[in-house]
Structure 1
Amino acid sequence: MGCPPKFTILQPKPVPPGSKVFEVKRAAVLEAFQDKVPVAYYLPKELLDNIACDVTDIPAKCGILTAEEIAITEDYDTVGLAAAIAARKLTAVAVAVAFAKRAIIAHQLTCCLTQWFMEEAVAQAQQLDTYLAEHGKPVGPLHGVPVSIKEHIPIAGVSSSSGCLASIVLDKTDSQLVGILRRLGAVFYCKTNQPQSLMHLETDSFWGRTTNPFNIHLSAGGSTGGEAALIAMKGSVVGVGTDIGGSIRGPAAFCGIYGFKPTSNTLPMQGFIPSPFPAELNILGSTGPMCRSLRDMDFFMSSVLADKPHLLDPRLVPIPWTGLQTSSTKILKIGIVENDGFVEPQPPVKRAIAWARELLMDARHTGAISIKSFKISGAAEVWRKARRMYWPDGGSGCRDAILSGGEPLHPLSEWIWKDAEPFGMLTAADVSNMRGDRDNYRLEFARAWQEQDIDVLICPAYVGPACAHDTAFTWTYTSLYNFVDYPAVVFPTPIVTEVGEQYDPSYQPLSEACEQVKQLWEETDFRGAPVNLQLVARKYHDNELFGTLSRLKDILGLN
């Protein structure tokens, strides 16, 4: 008799091991996950033993999905899927099965999941099919659409964690946003991986390390890296992420999908973590969609905000959503950021900026679009301050929680709080003074925006196309906009990283961090990595941001 098939998750670079007690507990958690997966959905050993860097084509070729399931998972975005289910061209059950199967295939290739509950999803989908048959109408705009959810966001009856094994809890109730999505008809079938401390731009946890689908030797980003990898693998059409330093935008950029960080207190985050996050004393987090198209982001925002979540959470600002329908006939003034004065982006990002500039400066757009370079000041200082503000307790709360279960500290966990650690627990006066520094910079940034006379910014989403594992050190191109609390969208470009790309001969380092970024470029094989750009608008100008995307859609070839 042959050996029984083995459930294997690719890990080109494993996460660090912990104590014996921790490893026993971790093994039990992973085994409980595996026990839910039918053997028929296991990828064969011979396939995994001969894997290429790019794994995006494997789900459609591995033989586990039917032709119909491939079509369901590949041929629709969220809006299209909802319409097909409502018109009874597809059943919610068929859609749930297709995405659950594709998600578990994607997980074996990228370690993108933390929870997988196909049976519950199919049962929920069956109820929706029955409702549609009996009432002749969907329960809501997301009727039957599978929605993936980041690990720390509670779903009733499913476990969650705050980034370490010791924090795992079984949630009895939905968080506010999940409850809204459920009422709108969303089907929940999985939760997605996140970093150990929730504060890496790489996703590496006790569940394992999430890899980039286009090059598994690169990161999928963090902290919402599991979502990004899953959507890039077409195991989801829309997912929910959170962002306090780039945690939606970084992963979306690394994996070539759409991601939106709204102005803070736009979408509900009630119940996302069991206790207040000290970083939010000065830098507020935000939640938003990650998906396949512009209209998906718009659809998500309009659907959720139509539920009026501000009536239950008075922190939320009840700004009516007009999104892609926001119109303007004035000349659109776009600032383009070549670099932030701190780190020069790596070559493919420079190519993407040049691509966007050339398209937008085409003579056909004269009189409709005005392009100018935009200069950012103080990025290095903002990054230094932000890394202190993220950890007003010196990182002790997070570190102690991790170590309490014998879990090892991952390299990027220790790195992210190392600037704050020597100062320990800050006093109330220290935190208040930090807020004063933050607000002074916000005023300076607003004045610079006004003086340079722009409506929106196009800028890099990261210093490079992605990063090698354990090297996500510089998030200034995203964290700056958390610091000033401006909304931002990252969107795909046709630029793909090529072998042999080199820095311009005239390159001069802007800082020590800039030199490090160049060194990492020279040491890493980035082939195949997609490149996204970022569009930024003023605080509370989220609708104007989407109105701009609508105007740029055809020019930049956005879907």
Structure 2
Amino acid sequence: MTSQIVPVVEAVPFVDCSPAYRSLRQSLLEDFSAKVPSHLRLAQSIIDNPPKNVTSIPRDCGILSPEEIYITEDYDVVSLANAIASKKLSAVAVATAFCNRAIIAHQLTCCLTEWFMDEAVEQARKLDEYLEEHGKPIGPLHGIPISIKLRLSIAGHWSMAGTLDTLQKADVDCQLIGILREAGAVFYCKTNQPQSMMHLESLSIWGRTLNPYNINLSSGGSSGGEAALIALRGSVFGLGTDIAGSVRSPAGYCGIFGFRPTSYVMPSKDFLGGIPGFAAELNVMGCPHLDDPQLIHTAWPSKRKGRQPNVGPLRVGFMMDDGMITPQPPVTRALMWARSHLSRSSSFHVKDFQPFETADAMKNLASAYWPDGGKSLKHHLSIKEEPLLPLTAWALKDVDDIDIGVSGILKQRGKRNQFRYDFAQHWDAQQVDIVVCPVSVGPACSHDTTFYWNYTSFWNYVDYPGVTIPTRIKTFEKGAESYISSTPLSDECIHVRKLWEEGDFEGAPIALQVIARRYHDIELFDAVKALDDVLAMGVPV
């Protein structure tokens, strides 16, 4: 082992900061690096002169064995669990492979905040021993390596709620981690998130997470470390949170699946506290409603049967824009591509879906996320001399002069509930089962320019579940005169067009978002499976 700080690719210089902040950063990076052996470190030439697209480096760098490449690239969660349960693969081999690939991914994108291979391998060894002794796996996730966003508490490891004064080592697992541990999951790393957890990018004291497909672009946020890691196959299954798009945005930017459930379907007990507000967080597993009375008691089927033949075609509404910002050309191209392929199938009835009062929703969201105008957040930042990052300042720019107080919060909640009633009627009138729409205003954004989260946070406001679904579309076009010359929908739309003209989005993947009614999470998964069966085979244009 060595304590020399592990270098990472940096597309943008790190932020200016105080001596106290630099000292803490140095300490955290040394603590991280002390666990990383020299044989898992990339050549300095790669760090100094990386390609724009780094997705091939984990396979080609010579660090991973052929078996480790096979394990990390040829399995999904289900097939990997089956391979371990049947003893085709050992839990130790799987844990080792994903640990090794994860630290390579980190050096390319700065996606991790902690890496604990020794602990993971020991946990996997005990699982192998259990399987050998009992002849059956300990649970459905026996031996599956799971990566965890920094915010989620796991015993003995760092957690942080978005500001440095909340940084702490947890004494116990949060409820979600406990459930997964009992199911046989193996934990091996924590992943990067941004200051305040309210950026759709991921820049923290550990560094800036880059997009694997184009390092000049963001990986998204606030679960951007997870998305970059999974896109590089350093994880097969990761946990994040989503209060405004923090799972769906990075999943879309990095071309992977991401799920945000309806509130209180999944557990969030013992999560490290974050920014106060109404919106629910994303969790991914279990239904321990007896321990957490906030949870909705719902039964998730062990095997999804899908839609019955007599139900008829799935009614799919396409929302091509949200009435506020026209998406950039590759997103529109992906929507048209998906619509074309689904329209050819008798399993779907495709129609338009009209947006609903997006500008009002975004205005209401600002006071919901920051009811005190950001005063509490700024106080937390001051405690550790933490610099106010540009996207934190952007998030607060419309609320600096507000502090709505307790009565204001109650009024805001009433306004939100009325909006939900009105939107439910709007959905009913359009007679759709699901909505397909953009995940973002464009592909992954240039660093420090992810300003607009309309396409995800709207669905948090009405509390509808959503899944990000990858397409086979990649960004290649420049300019797109018809887009630039068309009539903008708003000042924000004009700004997004300017960002398009200025940016370099080459190679960025494009995903779409699939939305279902509130508490129709199971039906959403059925719909996503049906859509993906068609779109995965579709020829890209």
2-side partners of 1:106 and 1:427: how far apart? 44
Q: Which moved more, 1:542-551 or 1:193-202?
A: 542-551
- Residue 277 of structure 2: SS of its match in structure 1? helix
Aligned ranges for residues 357-368 of structure 1 at < 5 Å?
Answer: 357-362=339-344, 364-365=345-346, 368=347
One-letter amino acid matched to 2:425: R
Aligned ranges for residues 331-410 of structure 1 at < 5 Å?
Answer: 331-362=313-344, 364-365=345-346, 368-410=347-389
TM-score relative to the length of structure 2: 0.96
Contact 2:203–2:209, Cα closer than 8 Å, also in 1: yes
- CA RMSD for the aligned pairs? 1.5
What is the Cα deviation at residue 553 of structure 1? 3.0
1:214 and 2:213 matched: yes
Q: Which moved more, 1:401-410 or 1:96-105?
A: 401-410
1:507 and 2:486 matched: yes
For residues 494-553 of structure 1, the C-alpha deviation after alignment (integer angstroms, 9 at most, x for no partner) is: 100004251525511000000000000000000000000011000011111112123223
2-side partners of 1:57 and 1:467: how far apart? 21
One-letter amino acid matched to 1:445: F
What is the Cα deviation at residue 394 of structure 1? 1.4
What is the Cα deviation at residue 381 of structure 1? 1.5
For residues 38-71 of structure 1, the C-alpha deviation after alignment (integer angstroms, 9 at most, x for no partner) is: 0111111122222111001001111111111111
2-side partners of 1:6 and 1:15: how far apart? 15
What is the Cα deviation at residue 112 of structure 1? 0.2
1:153 and 2:152 matched: yes
1-side partners of 2:166 and 2:29: how far apart? 15
- Residue 253 of structure 1: SS of its match in structure 2? helix
Contact 1:193–1:205, Cα closer than 8 Å, also in 2: yes
2-side partners of 1:228 and 1:501: how far apart? 28
1:24 and 2:23 matched: yes
2-side partners of 1:428 and 1:226: how far apart? 35
1:440 to 418, 430, 441: 418
For residues 278-326 of structure 1, the C-alpha deviation after alignment (integer angstroms, 9 at most, x for no partner) is: 113xx233323xxxxxxxxxxxxxxx33xx4111001010111137424
Give the structure 2 partner of residue 299 of structure 1: none
One-letter amino acid matched to 2:307: S
Give the structure 2 partner of residue 178 of structure 1: 177
2-side partners of 1:459 and 1:502: how far apart? 20
Give the structure 2 partner of residue 492 of structure 1: 470
Structure 1: 5+ residue stretches without partners: 289-303
Aligned ranges for residues 239-254 of structure 1 at < 5 Å?
Answer: 239-254=238-253
1:459 and 2:437 matched: yes
- Residue 9 of structure 1: SS of its match in structure 2? coil
For residues 400-456 of structure 1, the C-alpha deviation after alignment (integer angstroms, 9 at most, x for no partner) is: 1122111111101111122122113x2211111111211121111111111111111
Contact 1:335–1:374, Cα closer than 8 Å, also in 2: yes
For residues 10-40 of structure 1, the C-alpha deviation after alignment (integer angstroms, 9 at most, x for no partner) is: 1111331211111111111111111111011
For residues 362-400 of structure 1, the C-alpha deviation after alignment (integer angstroms, 9 at most, x for no partner) is: 1x42xx321111111210111111012101121122221
- Residue 311 of structure 1: SS of its match in structure 2? coil
Give the structure 2 partner of residue 534 of structure 1: 513
2-side partners of 1:276 and 1:204: how far apart? 17
1-side partners of 2:88 and 2:299: how far apart? 32
What is the Cα deviation at residue 6 of structure 1? 6.4
One-letter amino acid matched to 2:516: A
- Residue 364 of structure 2: SS of its match in structure 1? helix
Contact 1:324–1:550, Cα closer than 8 Å, also in 2: no
Contact 1:203–1:220, Cα closer than 8 Å, also in 2: yes
2-side partners of 1:6 and 1:206: how far apart? 14
Contact 2:9–2:48, Cα closer than 8 Å, also in 1: no
1-side partners of 2:202 and 2:17: how far apart? 17
2-side partners of 1:256 and 1:457: how far apart? 19
The 3 A distance-change label for structure 1 pair 77 and 271 is same
2-side partners of 1:447 and 1:466: how far apart? 33
Q: Which moved more, 1:318-327 or 1:451-460?
A: 318-327
Q: Which moved more, 1:260-269 or 1:387-396?
A: 387-396
For residues 185-227 of structure 1, the C-alpha deviation after alignment (integer angstroms, 9 at most, x for no partner) is: 0000000000011110000011100010000000000000000
TM-score relative to the length of structure 1: 0.93
The number of aligned residues is 532
